[in-house]
Amino acid sequence: MKPLMQILIPLGINESDVPQVLISGLSVNSKNTKKGDLFIAIQGANENGHSYINDAINSGAAAIITNKSFTKNVEVPIFKVENSRKALSIIASEFYEHPSRSMTIIGITGTNGKTTTACLIKSILENANLKVALIGTLGLIAKDYKYQKTLTTPDPISLHKILHDLKAASFSHVVMEVSSHALDQYRVADINFSIAAFTNITPEHLDYHGTFEKYKNTKEKLFHLLAKGSKAIINVDDNFGKVLSKKISYKVIPFSSKNQSEVYFKNVKFSTNGINGTIVALDKEIAIQTRLIGNFNSENILAAVGVSLALNIKQKTIEKGIKKCPIIPGRMESFKLQNKGIAIVDYAHTPDSYNKLMKTLKELQKTKGHIYVVFGAGGDRDTSKRPHMAQILETYAKHCFITPDNPRFEKQNKINAQIIKGFKKNKYSIYDNRNKGIEAALKIAKKNDIVAILGKGREEYQDIQGKKIYHSDFDILKDYSCELI
């Protein structure tokens, strides 16, 4: 329980306007509002919280925050603010006693590579005997904490509560994937980041941001949230990364997989067994040995090394942490098929990630085998990338199997029609059922062939018409007597 006055003072609200009310919790959903909660009305993508203020009051809300005028109820104090999303971030941090201020928070942003980079950093820090948690697309991963699935970056209430609980459990470091949506919606506006890393950027989420320029500007916001004395680790192979590194006034550690930089590969070898090489980083030579495969993962390793050096982690600890980092769930997971072929499961769902992944598979496939691809495109998302995805896959694949991949509220045949515009040859089949598409690809594959199953990774659902229906690509693989390589 906290005095309402204490929570609202950071918003600049006059103390004399705040009654002596105790607040027991925070809520943005009237259905979940409990007696004594402070309800913050938020304009969402599909629902407007301002329409549910009366419902929240009837559920026992002790006070209301809104960015619109509301005078229907005078018994419960109602406070108008300019931006209720921004206010929510401030309120959540204050209510949970600013947990990020006394923790080391590492934020990772970019279009691709966030999850792998985060997992590498977590492994390195754990090998330094630090108590580390990871928040991202894999959920909340922290020792002795139940596995929770979340958005890439949770809402401010959930996020500050997680940090509060982690701090209480003596976690000192948190590695966090930071999405563009989270930055735009002020979900992380009151997090004290000590380190920020930028992996790369390509057009994505344009259905939300409108233009690539706006998307880039949103990603940049993370680096303006850094606390004093912070450091930024930036991929300067990326054109936007170069621009970003020049804008930042504090310490920047640039990394590059193509040119000499503060962190770069002196030598590197790629194989189906992993990546081996030597990284030169701030006058140190770090031996790299990992089961992760693909050139794009070399960039993620460089980013993780840069972050580790910024945290003054010892060289041997970095080497050990990278070597011990397990295969990241749903990221280039390789399975040996009964027919001597290989199945690759990957979360790739953007043209850039398709291009990098397919190029990697082609380079690693040193035999005369074929590559077959199972994929789809998410509904109610950027439609412009759909034909581009097909163009890329057609260049590398013998045949493509188009299947549903979270159609949401969009008609599957409309999604398919936009995908096939990118094909110049008849190298595809369409399946209304993803399971059948995967089975068809696995049945046609022979010795030395690769079946790439893209888009869903370790997701265990199909998002259809607002319902999450159980589905797992791995269930199909199990039926084909696969074993993890």
For the chain, domains (ranges, CATH) are: 2-95 (3.40.1390.10), 99-324 (3.40.1190.10), 333-484 (3.90.190.20)
Displacement of CA 288 from its chain's centroid (Å): 25
State residue 91 phi and psi, 5-degree precision: -65, -45
Residue 145: per-residue pLDDT? 74
Residue 110 pLDDT exceeds 90: yes
Tokens of 188: 């992380």
pLDDT band at 209 (very low <50, low <70, confident <90, very high): confident
**What CA–CA distance (Å, rounded) separates 386 from 196?**
31
**What CA–CA distance (Å, rounded) separates 286 from 309?**
11
Residue with tokens 């304009």, as numbered in its chain = 43
Residue 397: per-residue pLDDT? 96
Burial group, residue 345, by CB count within 10 angstroms (0-12, 13-18, 19+): buried
Q: What average pLDDT does this structure show over 201-219?
A: 87
**What CA–CA distance (Å, rounded) separates 337 from 282?**
43
Task: Give the list of residues 6+ apart from residue 217 with CB closer than 8 angstroms, or none.
Answer: none
Residue 434: per-residue pLDDT? 97
Residue 483: per-residue pLDDT? 64
Residue 327: per-residue pLDDT? 86
Residue 481: per-residue pLDDT? 63
Task: Give the list of residues 6+ apart from residue 103 with CB closer than 8 angstroms, or none.
Answer: 163, 166, 167, 171, 172, 173, 174
**What CA–CA distance (Å, rounded) separates 309 from 317?**
11
What is the chain's mean pLDDT, rounded?
A: 92
State residue 391 phi and psi, 5-degree precision: -60, -45
pLDDT band at 10 (very low <50, low <70, confident <90, very high): very high
Residue 279 pLDDT exceeds 80: yes
Element (H, E) at 166: helix 156-168
Element (H, E) at 231: strand 226-235
State residue 345 phi and psi, 5-degree precision: -110, 125
Residue 86: per-residue pLDDT? 95
Tokens of 117: 């980079």
Task: Give the list of residues 6+ apart from residue 290 with CB closer than 8 angstroms, or none.
Answer: 274, 275, 276, 297, 301, 322, 323, 325
Rg (CA), the chain: 24
Residue with tokens 């599909």, as numbered in its chain = 46
Q: What is the residue-wise DSSP string for 407-472?
A: -BTS-HHHHHHHHHTT-SSS-EEE-SSHHHHHHHHHHH--TT-EEEEES-TT--EEEETTEEEE--
* Whole-structure pTM value: 0.85
Residue 168: per-residue pLDDT? 94
Give per-residue burial for 181-212: e unless 16+ CB within 10 Å, then b.
Answer: bbbbbbbbbbbbbbbbbbbbbbbbbbebbeee
Residue 51: per-residue pLDDT? 85
Q: What is the per-residue pLDDT across 373-397, written as a single tens digit (0 to 9) for each?
A: 999 999 999 899 999 999 999 999 9
Residue 189 pLDDT exceeds 90: yes
pLDDT band at 480 (very low <50, low <70, confident <90, very high): confident
